[in-house]
Amino acid sequence: MRKLFLILWTLWAGLAFLLVLAIFFPILALGLTFGGKKSLKAMHRLPVWASRTLRPLVGVKIKEYNKSIIDPQKQYIFVSNHTSTLDLFIPALIIDQYAKYLTKSAFLVFPILGYVVKNLYIPVRRSSKEDRAKSMKTMEDVLREGWASLVIYPEGTRSKVTTAENTFHSGAFRLSIRTGVPVAVFTTKGANDLMGHNNIFLRPGTIEIYWEAVLQPKGLTEENAENQATEAKRLILERLAKFPST
């Protein structure tokens, strides 16, 4: 019975996604095609509005803790743990700033999603050293221009669970030190319960977001990037340790 419910709920979520897509994507495509650079900032808001429209339709609730440490008027590099496909949508539900995502280039092969990723975000082919360097340069330029924040998952890919053995890559923290933009660390709990690693089924429920700290880069050099990555990892693991089932 539970499996049947998950199948039916996932089908409903898919239909809701297509409905929201049908409403927002034509506006996005028209804005990007005819609006030029002036409309780019506004077009970045459309995926946010689409995600926030979709969220209640698919029965996902968000609870945030300690968000007062985040200034909605400031620029950040947002980092978190990465265990669920839902992590693609979570930043749009909780981040008020204009934000670009670093995302894998594999999404470019999908007709609609690929169009959005290509035009609004920063795709990277992780297996290519040249492509990684290019994406780092693009992200650095975005931060120096000052109009957008970034969302980066330091683990690089989804895992079943974030553990001490998981590698937190230092790229986000090197960018922070180079540009002076602080890193905002948040822990995501519960997303993998609703739609886990390599799981196509979605169930309704609550995702909890714990805003852990803002790591300031002032006075640091790139030699300190690994230490900053380690600190972010420590904060997230310390939080998750309070919930053994996560």
Handedness of CA 137, 167, 65, 90 (dihedral sign): positive
3-state helix, strand, coil split of the chain in percent (to 5) is 55, 15, 30
Q: Is the pLDDT assigned to residue 114 strictly greater than 90?
A: no
246 pLDDT above the threshold of 60: no
**The tokens 């539970």 sit on which residue?**
2
Q: What is the pLDDT of residue 32?
A: 79
Give this prediction's pTM.
Answer: 0.90
CB atoms within 10 A of CB 198: 8
Amino acid residing at 1: M
Gap between the Cα atoms of 22 and 76, Å rounded? 31
What does the pLDDT read at residue 115?
77
Whole-number pLDDT of residue 122: 78
Residues 41-79, buried b or exposed e (16+ Cβ, 10 A)? eebbebbbebbeebbeebbbeeeeeeeeebeeeebbbbb
Q: How confident is the model at residue 72 (pLDDT cuts 50, 70, 90)?
A: very high
Q: What is the pLDDT of residues 158-206, one digit of tens each?
A: 776 676 677 788 999 999 999 999 999 999 999 999 998 778 899 999 9
pLDDT in the model for residue 150: 93
* Mean pLDDT across 10-19: 94
pLDDT for residue 245 is more than 60: no
High-pLDDT (> 70) share of the chain, %: 93
- The amino acid occupying position 169 is H
The string of DSSP codes covering 18-71 is HHHHHHHHHHHHHHHHHS-GGGHHHHHHHHHHHHHHHHHHTTEEEEEESGGGS-
Question: For 44-68, what is each residue's pLDDT tens digit?
Answer: 888 899 999 999 999 999 999 999 9
**129-163 confidence digits (pLDDT tens):** 787 788 888 888 889 988 889 999 998 777 766 76
What average pLDDT does this structure show over 210-237? 94
